[in-house]
Amino acid sequence: MLDASHNPDARSWVQSANAADTDFPIQNLPYGRFRCEATAPWRAGVAIGDQVLDLHAAGLIASPDIAHVMNRLASVRLALRHAIFVGLSEGSTQQTAWQGALHAMRDVELGLPCEVGDYTDFYTGIHHATTVGKLFRPDNPLLPNYQWVPIGYHGRASSIGASGQQFHRPLGQVMKPGDTVPQLQPTARLDYELELGIWMAQGNDLGAPVPIAQAEDAVWGLTLLNDWSARDVQAWEYQPLGPFLAKNFATTVSPWVVTLEALAPFRVPFQRPAQDPQPLPYLDSEANRRAGAIDIQLEVWLQTPAMQQAGSAGQLLSRSNYTDAYWTLAQLVAHHTVNGCNLRGGDLLGTGTLSGLEAAQGGSLLELSQGGKQAIALNNGETRTFLQDGDTMVLKAYAEAPGARRIGFGECRGTVMAARGR
């Protein structure tokens, strides 16, 4: 539903929010947490241009805790968005009072948007699933349940970090071709996965499924998510119960939660190919068919140590779009709870790797390098099949449409360090 807060001509008295290239114009207003000192508690804030508005200092919430934003009913969250929009709008009577509640983004530390409750990673990218399936099962790339049920696994919440996360190359068991005994070693096939993260605002009682018609009311918003993956470890361990050590060593998310309200102008119909099975009734609704998908452009950038030393921001590796996902966020929430599972505020759902149809739109190196068989040539003369120590991956995303102000997600940045003791 569109309202005055989506007006593309609306301007803010925070001048940096009016720049054409900002991710955070007044039409966006994403939530996150920040602190001015390393030992200070986290405070709830909103990104506006290159500034952060302290919501408690501005008198908008009762305490600095982000839960006072996240755990509210959808109608209350919408009212808060409107109050922030009015107060930050050009000519607002709040300008003088709120000036002191602003902090330059460059001067603060940005953390996880909230304390992470639980973490589930889905597998909604059908192009990724098909391409990867062909690498391991050339004659049967897409398993028969994929088009009927949103596939997912439970990940590790404790290793989720905010953009800027640095982690050591993980160790794991690897069975090399021709060997009969596995070895414990640092992964040689470290990869990224381009995903979106879905943050829950409210939970459901144990045993009470969330109908698809109510699923989006329980969602706070979206961030970028990088599901780092050790492919050689994964190949050895994933049968029969799925990923374990290959995935749980690090997951990186962007710090700003872009709300579903901000993404309203970028809604598009959700459609399955006519020849594919249509969702079961609990995964289907008229509203989901009409506007269940969201047009979000996604980008993956690689910055090698050599690029960083040369002052280069890195190289664009691929682009894709969230509209290629095989399941919508409402379907993920409805399916996750259909058995009575209770989600809680602060729980995180990963979409799974969001690749496009074309080979160049792969959301992982596993796809772009064809399983490590074809090295990717970089502009500075380097090559990559999988990530090397010192490499930094940067995920970016933005939404734009005719008659709407472009909004962005900020960066999701993470860096690989050498394995411990190496």
Cβ–Cβ under 8 Å, residues 300 and 393: yes
DSSP code of 341? -
**Rounded distance between C-alpha atoms, residue 116 and residue 247, angstroms:** 17
pLDDT in tens, 4-23: 999 999 999 999 999 999 99
**Rounded distance between C-alpha atoms, residue 355 and residue 324, angstroms:** 7
Please give the CATH number for the structural domain made up of 4-110.
2.30.30.230
CATH architecture of 119-417: Alpha-Beta Complex (3.90)
Cis peptide preceding 265, ω within 30 of 0: no
Beta bridge partners of 392: 303, 415
Is residue 421 predicted with pLDDT exceeding 90? no
CB atoms within 10 A of CB 288: 22
Could you please report the per-residue DSSP string of 24-77? --TTT--EEEEESSTTSPPEEEEEETTEEEETTTTTSSSSS-THHHHTS-HHHH
**Rounded distance between C-alpha atoms, residue 319 and residue 44, angstroms:** 31
- Alpha carbons within 13 angstroms on the beta-carbon side of residue 274 total 0
Q: N- to C-terminal Cα distance for the chain?
A: 54
Cβ–Cβ under 8 Å, residues 234 and 243: yes
Which residue do the tokens 């040539």 mark? 377
DSSP code of 197? E
* pLDDT at res. 137: 84
Q: Classify 223 as helix, strand or coil.
A: strand
Is residue 136 predicted with pLDDT exceeding 90? no
What is the pLDDT of the chain when averaged over all its residues? 97
Structure confidence at residue 43 as a pLDDT band (50, 70, 90): very high
pLDDT in tens, 83-121: 999 999 999 999 999 999 999 999 999 999 999 999 999
Amino acid residing at 334: A
pLDDT in tens, 259-274: 999 999 999 999 999 9
pLDDT in tens, 154-197: 999 999 999 999 999 999 999 999 999 999 999 999 999 999 99
Which tokens in the block code for residue 214? 């109510």
Cβ–Cβ under 8 Å, residues 394 and 412: yes
CB atoms within 10 A of CB 57: 18
For 286-336, what is the HEC assignment? HHHHHHCEECCEEEEEEECHHHHHCCCCCEEEEEEEHHHECCCHHHHHHHH
Q: What are the strands, taking DSSP E only, across 148-232?
A: 152-154, 160-162, 165-168, 171-174, 183-186, 190-191, 194-200, 219-226, 229-230
How big is the CA angle at 59 (ends 217 and 46), to the nearest 5 degrees?
55
pLDDT in tens, 367-387: 999 999 999 999 999 999 999
Sign of the torsion angle spanned by Cα atoms 186, 187, 193, 198:
negative
Characterise 370 by phi-psi region: left (phi > 0), alpha (psi -120 to 50), beta (else). left
Nearest to 367 by CA among 353, 378, 381, 377: 353
* pLDDT at res. 37: 95
* pLDDT at res. 139: 85
pLDDT in tens, 196-239: 999 999 899 999 999 999 999 999 999 999 999 999 999 999 98
* pLDDT at res. 140: 84
Sign of the torsion angle spanned by Cα atoms 321, 324, 328, 331:
negative
* Alpha-carbon separation of residue 392 from 44, 232, 250 (angstroms): 28, 20, 14
**Rounded distance between C-alpha atoms, residue 377 and residue 385, angstroms:** 9
Q: For the chain, which residues make up each domain, given as ranges?
A: 4-110, 119-417
Q: Give the residue-averaged pLDDT of 269-298.
A: 96
Q: Give the burial class of 211: count Cβ atoms within 10 A of its Cβ; 0-12 exposed, 13-18 middle, 19 or more buried.
A: middle
Is residue 422 predicted with pLDDT exceeding 70? no
* pLDDT at res. 346: 97
Run of H or E including 367: helix 365-368
Q: Give the residue-averaged pLDDT of 393-412.
A: 98
Is residue 288 predicted with pLDDT exceeding 90? yes
Which tokens in the block code for residue 1? 């539903």
* pLDDT at res. 1: 85
β 348-350/119-122 pair status: parallel
The catalytic site residues sit at 128
Could you please report the per-residue DSSP string of 224-273? EEE--EEHHHHHHH-TTT--STTTTT-EEE-S-BEETTTTGGGEE-----
Structure confidence at residue 138 as a pLDDT band (50, 70, 90): confident
